[in-house]
Amino acid sequence: MLLRHTPAEITERKALAINPAKTCQPIGAMYAALGIHGCLPHSHGSQGCCAYHRSTLTRHYKEPVSASTSSFTEGASVFGGSANMLQAISNIFSVYNPEIIAVHTTCLSETIGDDLPQIKKKAQMEGKIPAGKHVISASTPSYAGSHVTGFSSMVTAMAGMAESTGKKNGKVNIIPGWVEPADMEEIKRLAGLMGVKSIVFPDTSGVLNGPLSGEYKMFPEGGTTVAELKATGDAVGTLALGDWCSGDAARYLDKEHKVPCKILDMPYGLAATDRFIDALRTMAGITVPDEVALERGQLVDLISDMHQYLYQKKVAIFGDPDQLIAMTEFLVSLDMQPIHIVTGTPGKKFEKRIKELTAGLGRPVNVKAKGDMFLLHQWIKQEPVDLLIGNTYGKYIARDEDLPFVRWGFPILDRQGHQYFPTVGYKGGLRLLEKILGELMDRKDRDDPESKFELVL
Amino acid sequence: MGTAIDSKAAAWNAEEVKAELLKKYPPKVARKRAKQILINEALENETPEISANVRTIPGIITMRGCTYAGCKGVIMGPTRDIVNLVHGPIGCSFYAWLTRRNQTDAGPDGENYMNYCFSTDMQEQDIIFGGEKKLAAAIQEAYDLFHPRSIAVFATCPVGLIGDDIHTVAAKMKEKLGDCNVYAFSCEGYKGVSQSAGHHIANNQVFRHIVGENDEVKPGKFKINLLGEYNIGGDGFEIDRLFEKCGITCISTFSGNSTYDQFASAHTADLNAVMCHRSINYVADMLETKFGIPWIKVNFIGAAATAKSLRKIAEYFGDKKLIARVEEVIAEEMPAVEAVAAEVRPRTEGKTAMMFVGGSRAHHYKELFNEMGMKTIAAGYEFGHRDDYEGRRVIPDIRVDADSRNIEEIEVEADPTRYQPRKSPKELEALEKAGYQFKYYDGLIPDMDNGTLVIDDLNQYEAEKLVELIKPDIFCAGIKEKFSVQKLGVPMKQLHSYDSGGPYAGFQGAVNFYREIDRLVSSKVWGYLKAPWQRDPQLSASYNY
Ligand code: SF4
Ligand code: SF4
């Protein structure tokens, strides 16, 4: 038993978090920043944070993740980090020459109270930012929010680059939220299939799922360009996928540049994808081509074919709010029963939304924002499930409780494919379903007595 | 120039490479880095000086981590029955959660908290009003849930800034709980210049709060401690196997697969064998001063090094039976190792390696590469000090700068009742006469060939440049470096946490490593980088129908 000290009995904990279902803000900001073309993320604080964030992103994406740090030692922590940051800016532009530096804070620089916009002004005055180059910043103290809110802050900082010329460019902004590079690609593919001109930001496709070719490019081809970010101010509208990750940036564009926005769920599963396609259609003023309807039909077909294996299966899931909301809706639509749901990210709205989505199950559902995996495990011990869905850390619970386990979310450290195969859209729905069914059927094949072991499932 | 080394990829020259590495830097940065990049001259009786353990340059993409990582991640991470509670916002605890591949074997009923991640998950109000109350409550909750014998508290950056007195909280809780030893580590990430400060802080507290707590005499005739071995990928298991086979009792390992009681009994051993000099040499010194246990440097990475280290331990005890047994074990283990070495050698012989890891590993693994006929042409440490490069003799000359001064040195004296020299001055003298070296470490530089590069605190930019310019057959570093190096078409082996492999220590470890490196340098994948049409970019072809 790997988690042998976890008791089934639940006692209230006020101070101790055990096995978190979240991590800290800057890693989200770093991931988002990698979705800008030619961008070097910069961590303003001591170098350990940056090393940890880079390591975790690298382990998940299996790709180089470059990011610089202000490398505070004790002096900077006492006297403020402005000198380190200024030095960093000139070193970065002379050694790496990025188009843009996206700075985020850490707990340390936030606690000292370093003012990034102020430091940026100083850098500008001192001529440390070459002409045509950019520095943007996001405040990401980790004693608030989670990696998800850190992601959102950096995406909002990107929206801060928007400019409006007064002339619409006919494009739709799509803010995909914290999804995989392959998902961003899939969202672009769908928009392309529909003939919609779009600006997707951030866009890590091509950056964090690059080829092996004998060349290393610190700034690969992919990513949303600065020009595109500027052009978001002239778009006909914005679709924000997931309120937690993308809502703030969309609302900002609406408020500052009068780009109307619609905030949707992330397009995981059938219904959320339907709403995404429909919103895209109306915003761009086009009709949906048959190819999209065909993909949709294939997903519906697989659901109907395999319904017998899904019906009333109990599921425990953990992860990030935007993803969990869409996944819960998908599971309910498959007639499965998501009954234990935990995110580490705070937000009362989350619990309310999950309650609404699961109301039709006609049974109590455990849901907690600001929860942790220790609690989730205790819930599972109280009422066992047929399937667990979440990031790699779930494998300890899965092994102890002998549960089929689908890896989905962040981080996935021990399986491949998430960089390359989308789980959004109808095709992504097929893949999610394939994974879920694969796990359930493998389990059936393992557990069935020999007399019931069948070739045709 | 005489500095080009003769390898088959010999079209490089160390001075030119160094110049190339420095070229792009602003002058101030270039001056600083120039002192940390050394072209090895292999001088007689004198090693060239290198600048090490100095601050990382802001903005330069570094390989380094922080003090907290060294303390919680490296040293305390591998202890299985101590609840390691991180006081701070959530991230720090999350990232050190199971990522170092420390393995443990707690047995069916043993205590094991290694798979758990504990944090006070500080929130804004804790930062504003102070987190001491929350910390005390978290310790209480951990105690109520698990009743561990010990709880260790780690401070992260913001905790030090807001001034939470974690040591007082720990002391109070220790008293309140009665049967649980609680102590704290001021290992905020901004202290020091790298992980190294964290090793020091961790070891000091282990020494202060745990070592010596259990005087019970453990069975065993030849009792040693193994210091600086962290059981990454099961290294410690293999070393334990060999000790057992030889009849050597390992009282404690600092800290691979270790328990609270192992630390508590460490003072009952008769010899300290030090693996990773960087992370733990001061504990060896303290154990000697306080309890009279001598220490020697060992290395269990590499079959020859393992044999040598086992012999060294046996020689220390001077027992004929032990010496004979060690020879038997070596004789038993070596054939399998040699067979695999012979098998891989045709494919590895003459190949070149670069290694930039930690604070001792880059030196240790040189042995394994030697055994495969591979040459280490560039090496360095992420957070070594000058003594790790130049040998312990330079310790008195090391300038202590502001960043190291705030790392506590504890003053140790001979324990009034328990100090007991393990060998008489005469015995020591006899051993030393026979060439035995106590408290001795030669460092990496003397072991590197003339004209090779020794580089401290290599950064990502220089790593790429080195790989581009020299094209080694293999590059060793950590996860952050792995994929940028591989994009260049050079296989990269992680030596902090071994990718998926290991153990690499001891005899079986050597076999594993030979096979792993053989796999990496012989992999077909490196031949696939260019598509046929890229290799032969002829525009058109004519066909005859
Ligand atoms: S100090 Fe804060 S930002 Fe840094 S790793 Fe810890 S939680 Fe994250
Ligand atoms: S070799 Fe390096 S990483 Fe390993 S313990 Fe020593 S100092 Fe730490």
SS (H, E, C) A209-246: CCCCCCCCCCCCCCCECHHHHHHHHHCCEEEEECHHHH
Tokens 């992919």, residue located: A222
Determine, for residues B487 and A213 on separate chains, whether the beta-carbon distance falls below 8 Å. yes
Question: Is B538's pLDDT higher than 90?
Answer: no
Q: Ligand 1: does its nearest atom lie under 6 Å from the Cβ of B89?
A: yes
One-character DSSP codes across A177-206: -S--HHHHHHHHHHHHHTT--EEESS--TT
pLDDT at B540 (0 to 100)? 66
CATH number reported for the structural domain that contains residue B87 in this entry: 3.40.50.1980
Strand A237-241 and strand A172-175: pairing? Answer: parallel
Give me ligand 2 centre to Cα B282, in Å: 14
Q: Which residues constitute the domain of residue B98?
A: 67-192
Maximum separation of any 2 CA atoms in chain B, in Å: 99
Query: Is B69 a known active-site residue?
Result: yes
Q: What is the side-by-side order of every strand in the sheet holding B453-455?
A: B37-39, B453-455, B375-380, B352-356, B474-477, B492-494
Determine, for residues A75 and B402 on separate chains, whether the beta-carbon distance falls below 8 Å. yes
Comparing B217 with B11, the larger pLDDT belongs to B217
Q: What is the mean pLDDT of chain B?
A: 94
How crowded is residue A434: how many other Cβ atoms within 10 Å of its Cβ? Answer: 13
Determine, for residues A70 and B190 on separate chains, whether the beta-carbon distance falls below 8 Å. no
Which ligand is located closest to the Cα atom of residue B155? 1
Determine, for residues B191 and A74 on separate chains, whether the beta-carbon distance falls below 8 Å. yes
Tokens 């707990």, residue located: A107
CB within 8 Å of A243: residues ≥ 6 apart: A263, A321, A322, A349
Q: What is the side-by-side order of every strand in the sheet holding A314-319?
A: A366-368, A337-343, A314-319, A387-390, A405-407
Cα gap B51→A448, rounded to integer Å: 65
Domain count, chain B: 1
- Per residue in B299-338, pLDDT tens? 999 999 999 999 999 999 999 999 999 999 999 999 999 9
What stretches of A62-159 show up as alpha helix (H) in DSSP?
74-79, 82-95, 107-112, 116-125, 147-159
User: What interface predicted TM-score (ipTM) does this complex get?
Assistant: 0.97
- For residue B338, being part of any structural domain is answered with no
Nearest-CA residue for ligand 1 atom 8 is B91
Superfamily covering domain A25-159: Nitrogenase molybdenum iron protein domain (3.40.50.1980)
B29 touches chain A (CB under 8 A): yes
- Per residue in A56-101, pLDDT tens? 999 999 999 999 999 998 888 888 999 999 999 999 999 999 999 9
pLDDT at A79 (0 to 100)? 86
Work out the minimum CA distance from A373 to partner chain B, whole angstroms.
Answer: 10
- For residue B520, being part of any structural domain is answered with no
- Per residue in A100-126, pLDDT tens? 999 999 999 999 999 999 999 999 999
For residues B221-247, give the mean pLDDT: 97
Question: Roughly what angle, to the nearest 10 degrees, separates helices B235-246 and B303-317?
Answer: 40
Catalytic residue from among B87, B101, B199, B267:
B199
Question: Is B2's pLDDT higher than 70?
Answer: no
Determine, for residues A53 and B95 on separate chains, whether the beta-carbon distance falls below 8 Å. yes
- For residue B81, being part of any structural domain is answered with yes
Mutation test residue for ligand 2: of B196, B278, B367, the one with most atoms within 8 Å of CB: B278
How crowded is residue B119: how many other Cβ atoms within 10 Å of its Cβ? Answer: 28
Rounded to 10 degrees, the C-alpha dihedral A364/A366/A369/A371 comes to 160
Cα gap A229→A155, rounded to integer Å: 10
Tokens 């040293």, residue located: B75
CATH architecture type of domain A172-289: 3-Layer(aba) Sandwich (3.40)
Give residue B6's pLDDT band: very low, low, confident or very high (50, 70, 90). Answer: very low
Cα gap A24→B90, rounded to integer Å: 6
Structure tokens at A326: 């869409």
CB within 8 Å of A99: residues ≥ 6 apart: A36, A37, A38, A39, A133, A134, A219, A226
Q: What is the side-by-side order of every strand in the sheet holding A17-18?
A: A17-18, B118-119, B82-87, B150-155, B181-185
Question: Is B4's pLDDT higher than 50?
Answer: no
Cα gap A218→A227, rounded to integer Å: 20
Catalytic residue from among B14, B33, B64, B69:
B69
How many beta-carbon pairs under 8 angstroms link A with B? 263
Structure tokens at A20: 């978190």
Of A150-164, A331-345, B35-49, B298-312, where does mean pLDDT reach its minimum?
A: B35-49
Mutation test residue for ligand 1: of B94, B156, B188, the one with most atoms within 8 Å of CB: B156
Provide, as residue numbers in chain A, all residues whose Cβ is less than 8 Å from the Cβ of B489.
212, 214
For residues A402-426, give the mean pLDDT: 97
Give A326's Cβ-side CA count (13 Å radius).
30
- Per residue in B164-216, pLDDT tens? 999 999 999 999 999 999 999 999 999 989 999 999 999 999 999 999 999 99
For residues B32-60, give the mean pLDDT: 87
B64 touches chain A (CB under 8 A): yes
Sign of CA dihedral A196, A197, A199, A203: positive
For residue B306, the surrounding DSSP H or E stretch is helix B303-317
Strand B248-255 and strand B82-87: pairing? Answer: unpaired
- Per residue in B8-26, pLDDT tens? 455 789 999 999 999 999 9
- For residue B188, being part of any structural domain is answered with yes
pLDDT at A387 (0 to 100)? 98
Chain B 67-86, CB below 8 Å of chain A: which residues?
A: 67-69, 85
Mutation test residue for ligand 2: of B53, B67, B68, B74, the one with most atoms within 8 Å of CB: B74
SS3 (DSSP) at A357: helix
CATH code at A7-17+293-447: 3.40.50.1980
Contact assessment for residue A339 and residue A314, using Cβ atoms and an 8 Å cutoff: yes
* Fold agreement between A25-159 and A172-289: yes
Say if residue B122 is exposed, middle or buried (CB neighbours under 10 Å; 0-12, 13-18, 19+): buried
Provide, as residue numbers in chain B, all residues whose Cβ is less than 8 Å from the Cβ of A27.
91
Name the residue among A19, A22, A29 with its Cα closest to residue A411: A22
Rounded to 10 degrees, the C-alpha dihedral B340/B342/B344/B345 comes to 150
Structure tokens at B251: 């009282």
CA A363 to chain centre: 30
Cα gap B303→B319, rounded to integer Å: 23
For residues B351-369, give the mean pLDDT: 95
Provide, as residue numbers in chain A, all residues whose Cβ is less than 8 Å from the Cβ of B126.
143
Nearest-CA residue for ligand 1 atom 6 is B92
Provide, as residue numbers in chain B, all residues whose Cβ is less than 8 Å from the Cβ of A85.
58
Provide, as residue numbers in chain A, all residues whose Cβ is less than 8 Å from the Cβ of B67.
48
Cα gap B78→B68, rounded to integer Å: 14
Strand segments, DSSP code E, in A295-453 are 314-319, 337-343, 366-368, 387-390, 405-407
B138 touches chain A (CB under 8 A): yes
Contact assessment for residue A61 and residue A208, using Cβ atoms and an 8 Å cutoff: yes
Cα gap A216→B489, rounded to integer Å: 9
Question: Is B458's pLDDT higher than 90?
Answer: yes
Top residue of B115, B133, B466, B490 to mutate, by most chain A CBs within 10 Å, is B115
- For residue B129, being part of any structural domain is answered with yes
User: Minimal Cα distance from B499: which residue of A?
Assistant: A59
pLDDT at B109 (0 to 100)? 80
Query: Is B199 a known active-site residue?
Result: yes
Structure tokens at A186: 């899939």
Provide, as residue numbers in chain A, all residues whose Cβ is less than 8 Å from the Cβ of B120.
15-17
Q: Where are the domains of chain A?
A: 7-17+293-447, 25-159, 172-289
One-character DSSP codes across A1-18: -TTTT--SS----SS-EE
Q: What is the mean pLDDT of chain A?
A: 97
Name the residue among A103, A244, A256, A266 with its Cα closest to residue A174: A266
pLDDT at B408 (0 to 100)? 86
Name all contacts of A272-275 with Cβ < 8 Å and 24+ positions apart. A272/A326, A272/A329, A272/A330, A273/A424, A273/A425, A273/A426, A273/A428, A273/A429
How crowded is residue A239: how many other Cβ atoms within 10 Å of its Cβ? Answer: 28
Work out the minimum CA distance from A46 to partner chain B, whole angstroms.
Answer: 5
Query: Is B364 a known active-site residue?
Result: no
Question: Roughly what angle, to the nearest 10 degrees, separates helices A425-447 and A290-310?
Answer: 20
Work out the minimum CA distance from B536 to partner chain A, whole angstroms.
Answer: 15
